[in-house]
Structure 1
């Protein structure tokens, strides 16, 4: 019998080469290539002469009219929001996050809620003993929930145990990097093992209709550890985020085959576990200082949810040859573009100033609608003029200095009016588009239009609005 040839596989992308090299030519990662046996990985049995596959039946596209897939709601509203209204039976979800961020706490709370409703829920831990999981549940006040626990890492044993008895509604695997399968001849945590274990669990979910949640570790740059092919194999990828020293936690959908990918769930870490935040805007603005130069409130959107956050800017004279530019919670390239527009079309001189920009509360803003709020904060800090405490801003800034309209203006204005804001600065075209439409903001909300960035600079510099128009006049 011929000796199987070894291959070298990249642990980041799964690319195989015939020899070891320090840098992967496929993904560019360094020191991620390790040696694996040639007859290992998915399809290894076929390479070793396993029996042929079975013949399965094929369905017709013109068959019965499909019905909407029923969803399993967990009772945790923020988790159901991110998943698109609950879990779809037979789906597989990959949950990633930094160590200690609260992944296990969130999943135990969701498992306890489902198990209390009469569903079979199984929690498989590959990192902790059963007693450790019990202690965590007792600290959260969930010790009486009928959740089935096990500490196991063999995928074959896990699948055989789950197939015995009543079909489980939810299975949690914590974590996928600790699982191993006999089909792959390599150590747990390698590309082949992670991919093979994930494939076996995905097959179990699709054939039984159980929902499987795979917990994944993250690398130093925030990416889920292991091969990226696992993210393509699962139905949804959810990221659990948070900053050190803050109790705020954000659950964000990166991929979702059964729902939107731009929804976020907001939680607050407490002594009794994760508490849902029903009004994130009030939380982000709770510690806001009134009448402070360099602070502007941005009326943003996260999926279908309007969200108000404070953008803070500090513009200070620099003694360095190259002034500093520091950004937290926003795109640094976007800040560079806004600074260039303010210099070219707003008449500001920012080349000899250190500039710091931060989104308060730990939220990361990615939509272009934050351009106008960031520009207002920068102008306010440079001029020393405080913006009105009851004013919000949103709008996209073009390279020509024009202020462009953005989507969901009515929802942004409605959220601002609900939280007590009395004034909003929007693009001029935005006012024409939203006037007369349903879902208009409150009658006492005054909308100031801004067509060009130079108008915003002039209004903030003199401290009194020039172009305002009340909703009552529309």
Structure 2
């Protein structure tokens, strides 16, 4: 029996090593080098079969390529279609990741049921649940999933054969970490297996025109488990976010070759499945209490959609020697910068206070345009004075205390006006022509302190 050769490859950059090392020589990542068997000769993508006698493909000019309108399969779930850019593109490969129990399988089963109702043939292949378990899940849904073709299989060759047998338009694989190919002698979930299976699935999608949707597990750090090349191979990458204990789930796009990225879809988890939330801003602000200090509202741009969220802050006297700085939904380093700017440029002191900041509904503040809202919530809690209820805060705060304008200001303000806000605290360089909304121009954080104290 021939000995199986192995290589030691970095899961982050793909650099190969002669032996295992703790730190990758290519990208410097620690504990990222894993052993994986090489593909057998004469089979699979890594084989040598047919290379000598294979015909050489003749390149053509780009203008000679026939243009066809981009077709999409609409799932009938508005938020899902919105995040995908209008629906599933035939011949594409989509990766959706998220924490266990967040609702990935439920969402895809609902989408499969609606696609079958629309006349599309869907094959749902699960390596984690048997067909009996899938039937129990489907019985809880509002959609009728009885027409969906299901398969309890982990061997990739059998899944592709079944997809061809039923002439599937869409293939759902749950999950990519449970699938293996016979071309590699390694366990499912191995780095090499994930890379080889995803490569074969992508070639199958491009050659047959079948849309492939795969579920990916996530690591403790929140990234997709497996090699980084998995996200490079696929056309679209979606992340399902949110706390399992909360009712709302956030579906975010981080890569999309057929649409815009950073789009956000909001779903509500119910007993009968996931329900799309058409107005996320109203949902995120529904529990906001009036007349409470430490609360401020800002407008974020999630892809092409403006979303209003509430930022809450609490400054309380510290009971220990070193005050705490706790941030939920906000980078702790960004919080430290804003506290330093407020102390130095606005003559306020948080040195002896514990500071807690959180963003409601599990949303994360990733853009600097929310700085003004965080600062307003901190100042409101510090002086125990509620911020005006009809005001939203838009602007970036520099290290000198200057307030800089946010992008897409008109769309943010229009969303705020639709929900009843009448004033905007922002940079004096911002220009707004939204009827019914007045802009209060600020140049420095000192002016913010005086405006909140008025």
TM-score category of the 2 structures, normalised to the smaller one: over 0.9
In structure 2, the residue corresponding to 1:44 is in which secondary structure? coil
TM-superposed CA distance for 1:42, in Å, is 6.4
In structure 2, the residue corresponding to 1:163 is in which secondary structure? helix
Aligned counterparts of 1:60 and 1:447: Cα–Cα separation in 2: 53
Aligned counterparts of 1:449 and 1:153: Cα–Cα separation in 2: 60
Q: Which deviates further from its counterpart, 341-350 or 36-45?
A: 36-45
TM-superposed CA distance for 1:314, in Å, is 0.8
Aligned counterparts of 1:341 and 1:212: Cα–Cα separation in 2: 49
In structure 2, the residue corresponding to 1:128 is in which secondary structure? coil
Match of 1:93 in 2: 94
> After the TM superposition, which residues 59-458 of structure 1 pair with which residues of structure 2 at under 5 Å, given as runs?
59-63=60-64, 66-166=67-167, 168-430=168-430, 433-435=431-433, 440=434, 442-443=435-436, 445-458=437-450
TM-superposed CA distance for 1:30, in Å, is 2.5
CA deviation vs aligned residue, 1:451-472 (integer Å, no higher than 9, x gap): 21100111212xx2xxxxxxxx
Aligned counterparts of 2:290 and 2:253: Cα–Cα separation in 1: 34
TM-superposed CA distance for 1:450, in Å, is 1.3
Q: Which deviates further from its counterpart, 5-14 or 214-223?
A: 5-14
Aligned counterparts of 1:38 and 1:411: Cα–Cα separation in 2: 52
- Cα distance, 1:4–1:126 mapped onto 2, change above 3 Å: closer
- Cα distance, 1:456–1:54 mapped onto 2, change above 3 Å: same
- Cα distance, 1:247–1:369 mapped onto 2, change above 3 Å: same
- Cα distance, 1:4–1:103 mapped onto 2, change above 3 Å: closer
RMSD: 2.2
Q: Which sections of structure 1, spanning at least 5 residues, go unmatched?
A: 465-474
TM-superposed CA distance for 1:143, in Å, is 4.0
TM-superposed CA distance for 1:318, in Å, is 2.2
- Cα distance, 1:357–1:12 mapped onto 2, change above 3 Å: same
- Cα distance, 1:164–1:5 mapped onto 2, change above 3 Å: closer
Match of 2:451 in 1: 459
Aligned counterparts of 2:3 and 2:112: Cα–Cα separation in 1: 47
- Cα distance, 1:6–1:165 mapped onto 2, change above 3 Å: closer
Q: Which deviates further from its counterpart, 10-19 or 302-311?
A: 10-19
Number of corresponding residues: 452
